[in-house]
DNA sequence: TTAATATGCAACCGATTAGTTGCATATACT
DNA sequence: AGTATATGCAACTAATCGGTTGCATATTAA
């Protein structure tokens, strides 16, 4: 899975709200998940599908309702992508500091 | 700044490629940053503007060229947003484990 | 069995996005 | 001064997105 797709799925306030509602690990029916979002059920459903396609949430049919739960692994890989960038950045800072120390006339 | 906008800006392979090219802390002219991306300069420029609007990169005019550099703070706040979600998740796991231990008949 | 509940799918529409081409402009080199 | 370089801005188009309305369907309750 492309990490860009994960970020894209996270790039909307309504979808982030859904993720936050699920972040405590609870399972919710789609109906309760959509409550109070300020858009129609079908509109919310499209957002949910984006999260499902990005494998950020899992859908499971239980009788007449569908249960939604968070899949934390995709979220984790997005986080480590950013962490990887920051690692690069930190290496540069260390290299820069070493260079300054080595060439510091006052040392 | 809304974190959703940050994620949205990161949600594109070309923009991620630009971020990665800048992640070592180097400053690059827009021309060199756009090299080999497989789209026109103006197309790439639009992507760069999205990153700039989201405050993921900083643009600085230097003579006839514009220098681009990464702004790591926005990236960091995106990462901590995810970390916050994971913290919620972990709390749930701990609570669940405690519950199981307390109610474990074999204990 | 009839009715209510929970949900899905498709069509449609306006707004935004991603990309292009074309033109303008300022800086640097000769 | 004249030319090449590095860049920006605007207009246009096709595709995608975000949202709606309408209809279909399966499960549960009376």
Q: For the segment B33-79, what is each residue's pLDDT rounded down to a tens digit?
A: 999 999 999 999 999 999 999 999 999 999 999 999 999 999 999 99
Model confidence band, residue A94 (pLDDT cutoffs 50, 70, 90): confident
Judged against a pLDDT cut of 50, whether residue A68 lies above it is answered with yes
Nearest-CA distance B48 → chain A (Å): 16
- Backbone dihedral region for residue B63 (phi beyond 0: left; psi -120 to 50: alpha; all else: beta): left
Taking the C1' atom of every nucleotide in all shown strands and the CA of A64, the nearest one is: D27
User: Which strand D nucleotides have any atom less than 7 A from protein CB atoms?
Assistant: 5-11, 17-22, 26-28
Model confidence band, residue B105 (pLDDT cutoffs 50, 70, 90): low
Give the mean pLDDT of chain A. 93
Nearest residue (CA) to C1' of D26: A64
Judged against a pLDDT cut of 70, whether residue B107 lies above it is answered with no
B88 neighbourhood in chain A, CB within 8 Å: 23-25
Q: CA A53, C1' D17: Å apart?
A: 15
SS3 letters across A32-87: HHHCCCCCCHHHHHHHHHHHHHCCCEEEEEECCEEEEEECHHHHHHHHHHHHHHHH
- What sign has the CA pseudo-torsion B49, B53, B58, B63? positive
pLDDT, average across residues B18-28:
96
Asked if A7 and B4 come within 8 Å (Cβ–Cβ), the reply is no
Model confidence band, residue A96 (pLDDT cutoffs 50, 70, 90): confident
pLDDT attached to residue B103 = 76
- Backbone dihedral region for residue A31 (phi beyond 0: left; psi -120 to 50: alpha; all else: beta): alpha
Task: Let me know: does B33 contact B22? Beta carbons within 8 Å.
Answer: yes
pLDDT attached to residue A104 = 66
Judged against a pLDDT cut of 90, whether residue B19 lies above it is answered with yes
Q: Which of residues 30-89 of B touch strand D (CB under 7 A)?
A: 30-32, 41-42, 45, 59, 64-66
| Across B19-28, B37-46, B73-82, B84-93, least confident range | B84-93
pLDDT attached to residue A106 = 56
pLDDT, average across residues A41-46:
98
Judged against a pLDDT cut of 70, whether residue A88 lies above it is answered with yes
Model confidence band, residue B88 (pLDDT cutoffs 50, 70, 90): very high
Taking the C1' atom of every nucleotide in all shown strands and the CA of B45, the nearest one is: D8
Asked if B91 and A12 come within 8 Å (Cβ–Cβ), the reply is no
| Better-scored residue on pLDDT, B39 or B99 | B39
Task: Report how far residue A27's alpha carbon sits from residue B96's, in angstroms, rounded to the nearest whole number.
Answer: 14
Judged against a pLDDT cut of 90, whether residue A51 lies above it is answered with yes
B2 neighbourhood in chain A, CB within 8 Å: 13
pTM for this entry: 0.91
DSSP, collapsed to helix, strand or coil, labels residue B19 as helix
Q: Which residues pair with B66 in a beta bridge?
A: B61
Cα distances (angstroms) measured from residue B42 to each of A9, A73, A104, B46, B47? 26, 36, 43, 6, 9
Give the mean pLDDT of chain B. 93
Task: Report how far residue A98's alpha carbon sits from residue A102's, in angstroms, rounded to the nearest whole number.
Answer: 6
């Amino acid at each position: 899975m492309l990490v860009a797709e994960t970020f894209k799925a996270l790039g909307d306030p309504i979808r982030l709200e859904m993720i936050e509602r699920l972040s405590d690990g609870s399972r919710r029916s789609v109906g309760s998940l959509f409550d109070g979002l300020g858009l129609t059920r079908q509109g919310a459903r499209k957002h949910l599908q984006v999260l499902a396609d990005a494998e950020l949430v899992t859908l499971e049919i239980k009788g007449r309702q569908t249960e939604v739960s968070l899949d934390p692994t995709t979220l984790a890989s997005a986080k480590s992508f950013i962490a990887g960038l920051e690692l690069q950045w930190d290496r540069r800072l260390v290299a820069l500091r070493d260079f300054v120390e080595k060439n510091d006339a006052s040392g």
